[in-house]
Amino acid sequence: MQLLLDTHILLWSQLEPKRLSRRVSRALDDSRNERWISPVSFLEILTLCRKGRLRLDRRPVAWITETLDRIPSREATFTHEVAMATETFALPHRDPMDALLVASAKVYGLTLVTADTKLLASKACAVLANR
């Protein structure tokens, strides 16, 4: 399975792994599954840190670099195709980061790993629910 980590799943996997469900933990630990990370998640992390809504134990850029070194993953690159794919579905909220993650999942054929109830209910892409 090819798993695109929602931003909070990425953070929880590194900072609070107990918040991950057993099913999600098993999927992330399974070497047959590919982990994908969108640069959108790192932009979101940088924004949260800048606003004081997220505190990391080191500078955000250092944390991101170390996380990328630690987690075997592929990059779900933000492309023109991803941008245009945001027009192919409707989400119940106007969060542009969520729209880009869903569009990335659709374009790259990935399963979005999320606990976001709005994304889970939208059925805009394949999901693995953290419940």
pLDDT tens, 52-90?
A: 999 999 999 999 999 999 999 999 999 999 999 999 999
- Quick one: average pLDDT of 92-101? 92
Rounded Cα distance between 126 and 63, Å, is 29
Task: Give the domain 2-129 fold.
Answer: Rossmann fold (3.40.50)
**Residues of the chain with pLDDT > 90: what percent?**
98
Angle at 100 between CA 19 and CA 85, to 5 degrees: 135
Domain map (residue ranges) of the chain: 2-129
The strands making up 127-129's β-sheet, listed across from edge to edge, are 74-75, 34-37, 2-5, 111-114, 127-129
pTM (2 d.p.): 0.96
Answer for the pair 85, 107: CB distance below 8 angstroms, yes or no.
Answer: yes
Angle at 123 between CA 47 and CA 38, to 5 degrees: 30
Q: Tell whether the model's pLDDT for residue 111 goes beyond 90.
A: yes
Q: What pLDDT was estimated at residue 85?
A: 97
What CA dihedral angle connects 83, 87, 89 and 90, to 10 degrees? 110
